[in-house]
Structure 1
Amino acid sequence: MIDTHKTGEFRYPVSDIRDQDEAGFGITPSQTVGPYVHIGLTLEGAEIIAAEGDTVDVTFTVLDGNGDPIADAMIEIWQSRPDGTYNTTEHEGFRGLGRGMCDETGSVTFTTLVPGASEDEAPHLKVGVFARGMLERLYTRLYFPEQDNSSDPVLALVDAPRRELLIAEQVDGGYRKTIVMQHADPEKETPFFRV
């Protein structure tokens, strides 16, 4: 599972090199996206995608396969406006992109507008997940339970029994979605997409 509370020895020896000119020539190891993924990527208020209109709160909780929260995960979402368009000036104060760091419960909440259908796709949020130990972000989606998602071509790529794992739960006038990573039972792990 993803280790958010490191207490043992490091996997690789700690280098005493303090200047890049002292390093040997050759291939360097891959760099993961954590644990300091938030430095320079998140700004105060980046979870507020829209501050006016019929805003809703969308809460994501990121868990590992043991059910433990991934407290240093970062979630990034992209979406269309309520009319299904991207990058227009029709809705002042709407960015369409949000980033947020999960708290100690593995959760982060975004304030946004419910997107509209676009390009033959059901209304959805595109979701990127960053966390320590990962070489690349994971891509998934959030669909809304009150929408007709049956003809969405991307959701159709997921095996029918697992499609529910991408549908948000409606709670207190907003939405909640749990993202499960690295579960031993693939039927319980959130479906991720290759982009």
Structure 2
Amino acid sequence: MSESQGQLGLTPSQTVGPFLSIGLTWADGADVVPAGTPGEIRIGGVLYDGAGEPITDGLIETWQADPDGRFAHPDDPRGAVEPSVPGFRGFGRSATDAEGRWEVRTVKPGALPGEAPHIDVSVFARGLLDRVVTRIYFPDEDAANATDPLLSEVPADRVPTLVAHQAAPGHLRFDIHLQGEAETVFLAL
């Protein structure tokens, strides 16, 4: 080793990111269905950090079944089918804005066998080296929610962190808290 190699300093620390606005978002990414789709709803909220501050550089990804509870994907155990809703893609991606808000345009998914209707959610944000995953359940599905296997495992006082609430006609609110007193329940994958 030469003297100059032995004198090298430490590599400067680098930020992990996120750099979510570079290549991970696209113009209609938040549109799981096209505008004007019959039965469309908007689901959105605010992404909060552990101190209760909005996260302005986060990304919310959603994945869901169509209204019939089916996926146009080979991993659907009942077999892949074309969606029953024209233009439905089952996947959405919304960056948070300057106030930490996110929103997707979609339709309510149907129930999967043995599960209540829900939307799977991945959250990407600063300070996370990997995504965290949660679910959105629907407030008008009390009977199905009461028998859902995942919700049955969640302590009763934590279940509300997984259920959206009606904000306005056609609009559901689902805030996501990464830590703190109101922390959203996240799934261990």
Q: Read off the aligned partner of 1:42 and give its amino acid letter.
A: T
The correspondence of residues 114-129 of structure 1 with structure 2, limited to 5 A, is 114-129=108-123
Number of the residue aligned with 1:61: 46
- Are 1:76 and 2:70 an aligned pair? no
Q: Choose from 20, 25, 28 the match for 1:45.
A: 28
Please list every run of 5 or more consecutive structure 1 residues that lacks an aligned counterpart in the other structure. Answer: 1-11, 16-28
Q: Read off the aligned partner of 1:35 and give its amino acid letter.
A: P
The correspondence of residues 39-188 of structure 1 with structure 2, limited to 5 A, is 39-51=22-34, 52-87=37-72, 88-89=81-82, 90-147=84-141, 148=143, 149-173=145-169, 174-183=171-180, 185=181, 188=182
Q: Read off the aligned partner of 2:159 and give its amino acid letter.
A: R
Give secondary structure in 2 for the equivalent of 1:161: coil
The percentage of aligned residue pairs carrying the same residue is 39
Q: Read off the aligned partner of 1:43 and give its amino acid letter.
A: W
Supply the distance in 2 between the matched residues of 1:53 and 1:103 (Cα, whole angstroms): 27
Supply the distance in 1 between the matched residues of 2:130 and 2:18 (Cα, whole angstroms): 13
**1:74 Cα deviation after fit:** 0.2
Deviations 1:98-156 (A, max 9, x none): 00100011111110001110121101110000001211000001100001300111111
Q: How many aligned residue pairs are there?
A: 166
Shifted more, 36-45 versus 136-145: the winner is: 36-45
Shifted more, 122-131 versus 148-157: the winner is: 148-157
Supply the distance in 2 between the matched residues of 1:13 and 1:132 (Cα, whole angstroms): 21
Deviations 1:63-82 (A, max 9, x none): 11221100001000000111
Q: Read off the aligned partner of 1:75 and give its amino acid letter.
A: I
Please list every run of 5 or more consecutive structure 2 residues that lacks an aligned counterpart in the other structure. Answer: 1-9, 73-80
- TM-score normalised by length of structure 2: 0.82
Give secondary structure in 2 for the equivalent of 1:118: coil
